[in-house]
Amino acid sequence: MSYTPPNTFVAGTVVQANLLQQNLQEMQEYANGGVVAGDLSTSPWVEQQHIVRPSYESATRTFTAVSGVSSAAGRGKFLGRYTYVQRATSTRNEDVSVWQFIPGTFSRIELPRIPKALFIQFSFSGTTPSDATVATGTDYGFPGSDVRMLVYPGEIVDGSSLQSPDLLTEHLLQAEDDGDIGAGVGRRDHQSGFHMIANPGNRLFSIGLVGKSTMPNTRIWRWSVAIESWMV
């Protein structure tokens, strides 16, 4: 509520100092925490210079502004730094059912206020070489590698946090036996997709790639993610 003077003075009467002081005191209290949202003009008046400058958090590579936050991470075509989804970590070449961490692909974002939506764009490129141990005609994705994007609400603390990747961001990097495409021939593919969460809450999200594979190696040689979230 706007400032309202508690006392009105009458012409021809003596101005009492305490009444004058009350008016001034009330004004002081209004200025020191008495302003409420209803006192703001309802006509749009906020201009660019009124908005606080955005801040950048280098640890999570998060850019926080008034209307929203954004973050991005990526690895370009730097072939000396492959990351892998592979069977080596499980020593299994069939019936692989556990999603595994794909190192170097995770990004985190902290949402400081309750957003309306969290929006993620991602892409990655992978190569799966042919392999003499591959048998054809089995279930989809196997032999081969299945790579999906994981959007996990919170910190990745153990393997169970990785087990619910999004189906619609997946890709199968299937492999073939040497007889079909020739020994040493790789299958290269580029994937991209989008994911949105409405009203995700103000919390930390861990975003990255998980995979499961029966292959000696499927190389993920390029990866990028762009994250946006809007609070208003």
Partner 1 sequence: MSSLPTYNAEPGTTVDAASVNNLFTGVGTATSSLDASNVRAQGVDVGQVEVNSALNAGIVTRYASQDDNTASATYASTADRVVATFTLGTAMDIRPGDVWRCYYSVRITDQNSSVTNEADLETMTKRVGAGWIFWLEWDIGSGYESIPGQEDFSTSHYSGVNDDAGNPVPHMPTNETLTSMVFPHVSVAEKVPVGTYQTHQYVGTTGLGSAFNRSMRRSRAFHYRRPVPSTTVSVAGIRIMVRGVVSLGRDPSGSGDGLLFVRDTAMYGTDPTFGGASDTITVDNKRLINIVQAEQ
Q: How far is the CB of 48 from partner 1 (least distance, A)?
A: 9
Are 174 and 187 in contact by the 8 Å Cβ rule? The answer is yes
Instruction: Give the count of residues interacting with partner 1 (CB under 8 A).
Output: 73
For residue 171, state whether it binds partner 1 (rule: CB under 8 A).
yes
Tell which positions 99-138 bind partner 1, by CB under 8 A: 112-114, 116-117, 119, 121, 136-138
Smaller CB separation from partner 1, 144 or 208: 144
The residue assigned the tokens 């009124």 is: 50
Stretch that binds partner 1, among 2-10, 98-106, 152-160, 213-221 (CB under 8 A): 2-10
Smaller CB separation from partner 1, 136 or 164: 136
What Å distances lie between residue 46 and 40, 41, 51, 73, CA to CA?
11, 10, 8, 32
Are 72 and 224 in contact by the 8 Å Cβ rule? The answer is yes
**Omega before residue 143 within 30° of 0, cis:** yes
For residue 89, state whether it binds partner 1 (rule: CB under 8 A).
no
For residue 198, state whether it binds partner 1 (rule: CB under 8 A).
yes
x/- mask, partner 1, residues 30-59, rule CB under 8 A, reads: x----x-x-xxxxxxxxx-xxxxx------
Which 3 state secondary structure label does DSSP give 120?
A: strand
Are 128 and 230 in contact by the 8 Å Cβ rule? The answer is no
